[in-house]
Amino acid sequence: MGKILGLFSLIIISIGLILGITLSLSQEKDKKGEIMENGSENININKIKETNITVTFDNNQYKDGLKTSWGFSCLIKGAEKTILFDTGGDDSILLENMKKLEIDSEKIDLIVLSHIHGDHIGGLDGFLKTNPKVYVYLPKSFPTSLKRNIEKYGTKVVDVQKPMEICKGIYSTGELGTWIIEQSLIIHTNKGMVVITGCAHPGIVKIVEKAKNIIKDKVLLVMGGFHLGNKSSKQIETIISSLKNMEVKYAGPCHCSGDNARKLFEKEYQKNYINIGVGKVINTKDL
């Protein structure tokens, strides 16, 4: 009888342990669900010492001997991965500029695409023919057909919907906007954040606000296309004022920002305005 009671007790204890483990796993799953749901609130925040950014494609000239064309692309070094942000509008121009800048496509680890417009993804196919081993981070809303076209090279596609850490110190804002969906890139350095935009269709101010919400640090530099070509001087001045109120230290509008916006940013930011065009190299240690 004692043996039977002992065996029964052992069975009860075992059942209790199984139920406890199941409940714990269920709660852990719920926690993970909350993390995914909460998005940026639970991203691990890391920094890198500094970053080096080279503009490989732009419709503004900076360095003689490089080709200009409508679009944007830049190379980011200094993190654990070397990243190409956008690919411009033409693969032959992108690859030719990279060659003249002594950038080896095979040493690039990741490509981050801001949005679906051709002036930002036009160089992708040609690039993948030279290096299909990269990972391509793109907005989840991109068409399946485009993703399949990338995967035909054997390239890994990573969907981005919510804010995420791409690699240590490098973040995506996640998908922003309604009509045109876009992600921007955040580089978290010891001096603060560098925010890089493709075209800033969701609004440059909203993008910077999102970056500050994710990282909660000062903004060292905002650069890229600001999409201000159709804005009045008064509207642009209001945007500049908003960025300065958010203590954005340096500004480097290019691509679709418009000549008037570039002039107004230079007037307001003075020595903290960065003239950006194809061939420009920015190192945060110099800022």
The pLDDT score that the predictor gives to residue 44 is 85
The pLDDT-based confidence of 25 (bands split at 50, 70, 90) is very low
Which tokens is 108 given?
């690039």
Using a pLDDT cut of 70, give the percent of the chain over it.
86
- 141-197 tens-digit pLDDT: 999 999 999 999 999 999 999 999 999 999 999 999 999 999 999 999 999 999 999
More confidently predicted of 138 and 17: 138
Q: Across the chain, what does the average pLDDT equal?
A: 89
- Cα(46)–Cα(217) distance, integer angstroms: 11
8 A C-beta contact, residue 283 and residue 55: no
Phi, psi of 37 (to 5 degrees): -70, -40
pTM across the whole model: 0.86
Q: Is the pLDDT of residue 31 over 70?
A: no
8 A C-beta contact, residue 116 and residue 140: no
Q: At what angle do helices 233-245 and 204-215 cross, to 10 degrees?
A: 10
Give every CB contact of residue 56 below 8 A, 6+ residues apart in sequence.
73, 74, 75, 84, 88, 94, 97, 98, 101, 103, 278
Q: Is the pLDDT of residue 36 over 60?
A: no
The pLDDT score that the predictor gives to residue 15 is 38
The pLDDT score that the predictor gives to residue 54 is 98
Cβ count within 10 A of residue 17: 10
- 43-61 tens-digit pLDDT: 889 999 999 999 999 999 9
8 A C-beta contact, residue 123 and residue 152: no
Beta strands 52-58 and 72-77, pairing class: antiparallel
Which tokens is 246 given?
């958010």
The torsion region of residue 17 among left (phi > 0), alpha (psi -120 to 50) and beta comes to: alpha
The pLDDT score that the predictor gives to residue 43 is 83
- Cα(207)–Cα(200) distance, integer angstroms: 7
Lowest mean per-residue pLDDT among 35-39, 121-125, 139-143: 35-39
